[in-house]
Structure 1
């Protein structure tokens, strides 16, 4: 791949310049990023960025972080956001990918759209948890398989990322922002995961779940370092908790 591709994409005129003009001044005033191991973030070529997810403000923060590190971020985002006037237009023009809630991952249009980004050497941000974590302590919960499917099918790296501090800006499930005083967001970039053991295997549920477990473990270790705490031994499984509380499994 072209080694300067990631950098030239950011430096070329695009709708990202408009987004940066609108978002960066506010975020720069409200947020101080403290990034550990920033050199591990790929500056060129296609890859999947896999962060933890515990606040509605996470995509904005991870988008700004990616831009500051030299890449134009594309996300899988809730389809409902694309119906918002102006915002929806900006999202479509910047290549963000709408995802219908509850939609199937295998062979879905979102995955196909992400694969097109990969073919162009661009990055895609996929939250492996699929939604805000339900873990009471804001630790990563059980992951879904979309991120590893893209990485394995396209033969590209998946880079785990953990961040902490977004809850001080917007608590989980809250719509209220607290921009001032300025907050610090801690970020740690992980090594691209070695998925070689899965390549060439049938991408069935067992393989994808095994690879996803590795991704979630890597994200959790990074978050443990940031929080200087130990995560619970058992990962929160929303399907099991839904069954216990309502007598049904979540699809």
Structure 2
């Protein structure tokens, strides 16, 4: 999805935003990410909020994705930023999220923030996905395996850019791909990011071994998951030049090779 400039918003939307944050207000576009058509921190007399917006009405992929993220974020609890308010007008949807100040965590071996991540993973593994629309594991990953199905909330994209260490602890943003699944799936999808943070595949698995959900996974299931992940990202790397895609192909390839040994 291509990120649009703030000026793409129609006057009807910016007027409603101004009515809530106050006038005058300043806009600071998000530095990264591409899941939202518009994403920016907006500061006015009433404070700072993080705005995501999408156009095209309910038939638009970006519009449906944002509506889905707003619903999923509001259902999870303490980890996501709070949804403060929503605007839907003129074919646009805008959502205001709690603005989080902080830094991205250090997940390197022995890093100071691994314990914060472990606390989040332990809690998320016990949160039942409420009724509503969620991704299925097959819909999220592109392949099926019956052991991936389950009833817990899986963020499914716990890369360090989606983790923010605030003054009160770790928070998790960007729930656009929240999935109803077995809790081990979150752990398996984290392997790539641990490897990308400097862990060897063996060290990544050793760190994940502390979680009961990891211990319940059959070795063959993990072999299959690693193989499918490596194949998926290898194919995508052959089709494009984006650095992050090639990184994921490298990290998942390393994990699959380790499991083959």
Give me the TM-score of the superposition, normalised by structure 1. Answer: 0.28
Higher relative contact order (CA 8 A, sep 6+): 1
Kindly name which structure, 1 or 2, has the bigger radius of gyration based on alpha carbons. 2
